[in-house]
Chain A
Amino acid sequence: MADPLLSIKNLSVQFFTYQGVVRALEEVDLTIQKGEVLGLVGETGCGKSVMARSVLRLIPDPPGKITQGEILFKGEDILKVNRKRLREIRGNEISMIFQEPMSSLNPVFTVGDQMEEVITLHQEVDRGRAKEICIEMLQQVKMPDPERVLSKYPHELSGGMRQRVMIAMELSCRPDLLIADEPTTALDVTVQGQVLTILDDLVRRIGVSVLFISHDLGVIAQLCDRVSVMYAGQMVETALVGELFADPRHPYTHGLLQAIPSIDEERDPLMVIPGIVPRLIEPPEGCRFYPRCTKRFNPCDKIVPKLVQVNPGHHVACHLYPRESEKS
């Protein structure tokens, strides 16, 4: 297999607060290949947003600190590059869109101003050409009447339109990787449908790799090629999307899939994962899912399970699948 575009190894992130040390990410691995859409799914507190921000070194320090690990992007370790190279990467080679577009768009500048700013920052073009690029991109995201939209302010646009502007802006420099952190969570379902269709289409056409973060398994199933599941700061399972949904190996993944009410089948009562997500301040030793796991046994509460391959492309971190029995 070719070298992955992004390869995160052994990443640990901690936050130092008055109440104690929050171990937000614990030795996490992740890879994204060129041209693939990787879904990162997990519930509140699992660390997916922290992971996304780590890639661009956006973790506020203090109180946060990347305590170990490496993030290899096109062969370079992002954690070690100098400021100048980091600026080149941000927005240009790796772009990011967020959940709430109102906070990423500056309310006192027009959409046009902001888009042009992004373009002229990274590309050697004059303002006229920049404006043309803006209009092209807005057409790519199926924005009606792009010229008029450029002269509007963010609050004059609806949520769905703002997200499309964000997508257009972040893809205008043709990045290698797009990180999308819950981009449609705040949108109504019909608008979400539109935005996801546009995003899917555009991404395939341009050939951008995507790290798509969401807690919504439906969206993940629709959009992604491969999926990684996180729980309480640990990576618990990674597989091709079809295989993850058809044959989830980790008890948490299995529980999560069972807990969603389904339009198609009767589930009464919904299968429940008992208990609640643990606090990350003094996390339990060993597997963090241990207290809620129905399949737990002896080593689970003492030793952290590592990701092990159970099928080609399918990795699970669970003592049910121990290292020794790994066969390819």
Chain B
Amino acid sequence: MWNEFRKEHAWQIKEFFFTIRLLRRNPSAVAGFIIIAIMILMALTASLLSPYNPIQISLRERLSPPSMGHPFGTDELGRDILSRVMYGARISLRIGVLVILIAGGLGAIIGAISGYLGKRIDNLIMRVMDVILSFPPLVLALALAAALGPSLNNAILAVAFVMIPKFARMVRGEALSVKEKQFITAARASGAKSLWIILHHILPNCFSSVIILATLILGETILIAASLSFIGLGAQPPTPEWGAMISVGRKFLMDQWWYATFPGLFILMTVIGFNIFGDALRDILDPRIRR
């Protein structure tokens, strides 16, 4: 079984390792990757490595500055901020990945259908996408989250909805150019139906662009989700989500700087990490540079 897989996908495996090699040589790719890796590691090992239970209250120690016992200090209920930040990574990444999967998946299909079928359907779909895109993403996500009710899952849906048009637009563009290739005409001539062509020809050819867009959007996604939690529409207390922590920590910013600063710093690093990695990836996957 594995051998058959290896035979069929030999070239993709080779390409994958080639991409890795190219990424290793690219400084921003490496930097971005390290940051992302740290975040992922934190998220995965949070339950093992976090020094404290993130929701454990200890009023005696409330609002203590960073120390040996609490490297990031404690919040107003005495909860260890480092532990909360570590668990927060888990949440932020979960939000990011889910949003990308939903928005990317739906957006790609919508875009492919729109681009391939063209004419009226394309017009209709793209006008709808335009309407969604005409709202500032945060505002729209806010409105949706408010309508759906304050919860983390609703925040995910809201952000995903807002991101769909970006994927749809991009995939539609690619679909338009792939549509003109001769192998598509060949497929039609062989009796393939439109749905088959979209699934087997158009979507696979858009794959690498979707990946790149995903890495670039991931940062924005986390930011919007944090903003929603900041306002109170996303993660609810006591969930240690970074945005929510900043929201509360704002009040204490003057005297207890550590409260809002560390989660903020982590949001910053995560977004930057994904952005520079995504940039480097885009350059590397560009077929002209790949020669």
Contact = CB atoms under 8 A, between A and B. Distances in A.
Contacts of B18: 18
B193 interface: no
A18 B18 CA distance: 10
A17 interface: yes
Contacts of B291: 17-18
Interface string B184-213: 000000000000000000000000000000
Interface in B235-291: 291
Nearest to A15: B291
A17 B18 CA distance: 13
Interface string B7-45: 000000000001000000000000000000000000000
Contacts of A17: 291
Nearest to A63: B291
A42 B237 CA distance: 75
Q: How large is the interface on B (under 10, 10 to 19, 20 to 34, 35 or more residues)?
A: under 10
A65 to B, nearest CB: 16
Nearest to A19: B291
Interface string A182-200: 0000000000000000000
B22 to A, nearest CB: 8
A33 to B, nearest CB: 38
Nearest to B21: A18
A17 B289 CA distance: 11
Nearest to A17: B291
A139 to B, nearest CB: 41
Interface string B155-188: 0000000000000000000000000000000000
A74 to B, nearest CB: 36
Nearest to B290: A18
A94 B115 CA distance: 49
Contacts of A18: 18, 291
Nearest to B22: A18
B204 to A, nearest CB: 24
B92 to A, nearest CB: 36
A193 to B, nearest CB: 29
Nearest to B291: A17
A18 B291 CA distance: 7
A18 B289 CA distance: 11
Interface string A1-45: 000000000000000011000000000000000000000000000
Interface string A138-151: 00000000000000
B230 to A, nearest CB: 46
A183 B90 CA distance: 62
A216 B39 CA distance: 61
A1 to B, nearest CB: 43
A281 to B, nearest CB: 12
A17 B291 CA distance: 7
A43 to B, nearest CB: 21
A189 B242 CA distance: 70
Interface string B67-87: 000000000000000000000
A173 B291 CA distance: 38
B26 to A, nearest CB: 14
B239 to A, nearest CB: 47
A289 B167 CA distance: 50
Nearest to B18: A18
B185 to A, nearest CB: 23
B84 to A, nearest CB: 45
A299 B18 CA distance: 38
A61 to B, nearest CB: 16
A21 to B, nearest CB: 14
Interface in B130-159: none
A24 to B, nearest CB: 14
B36 to A, nearest CB: 25
A18 B14 CA distance: 13
B69 to A, nearest CB: 52
A17 B290 CA distance: 10
A53 B291 CA distance: 20
B70 to A, nearest CB: 50
A264 to B, nearest CB: 34
A61 B192 CA distance: 47
3 contacts: A17-B291, A18-B18, A18-B291
3 closest residue pairs by CB, A with B: A17-B291, A18-B291, A18-B18
